Amino acid sequence: MNSPALQALFGGTFDPIHYGHLRPVEALARQIGLQQVTLLPNNVPPHKPQPEASAAQRVAMIEQAIADRPLFNIDLRELQRQTPSYTVETLRGLRAERGPQQPVGFIIGQDSLLTLHHWHQWQELLELCHLLVCKRPGYPAEMANEEMQNWLDRHVCRDTARFHQQPHGLIYLADTPMINISATEIRQRYLQKQSCSDLLPDAVIDYISHAGLYRG
């Protein structure tokens, strides 16, 4: 029997979704051979800065962005829960649905890799998924401390085939384009009435303008 194809998830606040999300992931998908990437908009814990756009607006912007990008689909499970989103819990739910043999990849940017040791129950992540890491400008390649660097070195794998054969446990450091865009910068540019035309898809720009988002 063929092993099931690697399924990839990409979590984020997406306030709003932008080319810094889409383009590195498209490159990653070509490198490692992903047919589908599932975007997982998250619920933000009450002690963190809340998104400016509502959950429904963040979803609507994602839908606009992916309408002509068949690589992507969207999963609303984290928004449908009333509790903050912990990736480890979402992955446990997916594992329970898809079984122990399904290869699952969770996509993050380099900034998230560097702070992974602050994530809830982060040590269990690799028991549930592979981590697929996109480059992000402004963030060093080295981990925060020796212990984390050793952990990374133990799990890094360059052989893309293994990510499709093994259900979890590996880290792929993808050679993705450096896209210097953040949602924070986009929100600030809107506030200052500056153009965002090259930072996110036109359909998302149209949605933001009709909904009057990010005007302060």
CB of 112 to ligand ATP, least distance (A): 4
Interface map 86-115 toward ligand ATP (x if CB under 6 A):
----------------------xx-xx---
CB of 100 to ligand ATP, least distance (A): 25
Site for ligand ATP in 121-180 (CB under 6 A): 134, 136, 179
Selected range binding ligand ATP among 6-14, 78-86, 149-157, 197-205, rule: CB under 6 A: 6-14
Task: Work out the burial of residue 171: count CB atoms within 10 Å of its CB; fewer than 13 is exposed, 13-18 middle, 19 or more buried.
Answer: buried
Angle at 75 between CA 68 and CA 125, to 5 degrees: 120
Cβ closest to ligand ATP, residue 94 vs residue 133: 133
Give phi and psi for 143, each to the nearest 5: -75, 170
Cβ closest to ligand ATP, residue 136 vs residue 168: 136
Distances (CA, A) of 112 to 54, 63, 141, 147, 192: 23, 24, 12, 17, 28
Cα 112 to Cα 86: distance, rounded to the nearest angstrom:
14
Binding site for ligand ATP (CB under 6 A): 12-15, 20-21, 24, 108-109, 111-112, 134, 136, 179, 181-184
